[in-house]
Structure 1
């Protein structure tokens, strides 16, 4: 039995696609590091719950838990909900909360992977010099709407804006943030603004991890776009990022103890 556990804490959803995607991502994390015990828990709607999982881990004799929020920004859930539920854990558990996932170069790579998979790829052998030239040309003629769920938290909004800037730095001619709730502009408004700017091709890149009500709203707002990418889901980049956040948290813990 492992004495240390990586606990991936997801929000949860009434939409069954959400939990299925989270579990698929966690399976990918396990495949990348078979020696690490990785568990999943949900704040709401789905089981297992965070309190129930922590109680079970304590009963099994687990001592160290890295709780990793499956969140792209530090908004209310990362700042309030998750710390509150972790404080209710059995006292035998030593728990550290890892940083949220964004921003990160791996998220930029995952977004681009989804855009390419949605059809923004030249009909050439991937990795060749001609392919790279064709990708560069495609980026110079394509605008991207970075569509997130939305937040009223200024820190979260700033993080999404930074991700949009980082995505633009990879060569896309224009990148605009958009939101499914809480903030403006909406996805459809950002698409129309890009058309008004004279862009012939517009792609929507959902900056969300799993399907659900708000990602469906993003998809509905993308009807006038040329390309709609998939959610980030169980991509290799996202799985590697979870392990990065785990490792950084464990390193910080060792430094603090020393």
Structure 2
């Protein structure tokens, strides 16, 4: 197999002060490494070290998969800046984003039945990121055939408790919260206080998330091979 196919994979992830959340990210990297059989690393964008920049400087050429759900500042600014600071030898794939919705629905299926659901996103100061969560909320509503509202843990409104209250005011007796989060931590803990009847787990090390990371990596490899293939010379 060509050596380009063995370039290391770096999962760009948001750090957390939660021990369980940090361990979840490490378990995800291990699951991806086992699936692909390639060197796999975590590149922390916040809180932890080694930072994404440090990891990329050490590795050189690499493929970076942004394991994020929305196009917030970390995805649009921090990750490109880290790649540039490390010498621009790595390439970044599209973020995971809304493609993870089937895993969110899978987690929601683990809770008791409900009449309506709040999709709980982390929140952002960027309108684009909030719009992405609202779009996914519409998809979630269709997927579960229940009314759904978006709610945010921080930095935006409505908050998750406000969204739960709005659904109750609309006459829905049992309201669930679907955690639109990748790993346990402070945000997922706060969802337990939102006043819902049930709260789903974050995505965690779900096989569908591993599938998505594999797809991003394989697409990047394929595109690199096309770009690097010499053009045919006509005599």
State which drifts further: 43-52 or 145-154.
Answer: 43-52
TM-score normalised by L of structure 1: 0.81
The reply to whether residue 247 of structure 1 matches residue 191 of structure 2 is no
SS in 2 for 1:152: coil
Q: Contact between 1:6 and 1:36, CA under 8 Å: does it hold in 2?
A: yes
2:121 alignment counterpart: 148
1:17 alignment counterpart: 20
Q: 2: CA distance between counterparts of 1:16 and 1:84?
A: 27
Unaligned runs of 5+ in 1: 59-63, 121-140
Unaligned runs of 5+ in 2: 230-235
Q: Contact between 2:72 and 2:124, CA under 8 Å: does it hold in 1?
A: yes
* CA apart distance, 1:103: 1.6
Q: 2: CA distance between counterparts of 1:168 and 1:230?
A: 18
2:170 alignment counterpart: 197
2:232 alignment counterpart: none
* CA apart distance, 1:43: 1.9
2:101 alignment counterpart: 108
2:92 alignment counterpart: 97
* CA apart distance, 1:3: 4.4
Q: Contact between 2:177 and 2:200, CA under 8 Å: does it hold in 1?
A: yes
Q: Contact between 1:118 and 1:230, CA under 8 Å: does it hold in 2?
A: no
Equivalent residues in 2 for 1:68-217, closer than 5 Å = 68-90=65-87, 94-104=89-99, 107-120=100-113, 142-217=115-190
TM-score normalised by L of structure 2: 0.88
- Aligned-residue RMSD, C-alpha: 2.0
Q: Contact between 1:202 and 1:227, CA under 8 Å: does it hold in 2?
A: yes
1:134 alignment counterpart: none
Q: 2: CA distance between counterparts of 1:171 and 1:113?
A: 10
Pick from 18, 26, 29 the counterpart of residue 26 of structure 1.
Answer: 29
The reply to whether residue 218 of structure 1 matches residue 211 of structure 2 is no
Q: 1: CA distance between counterparts of 2:172 and 2:226?
A: 50
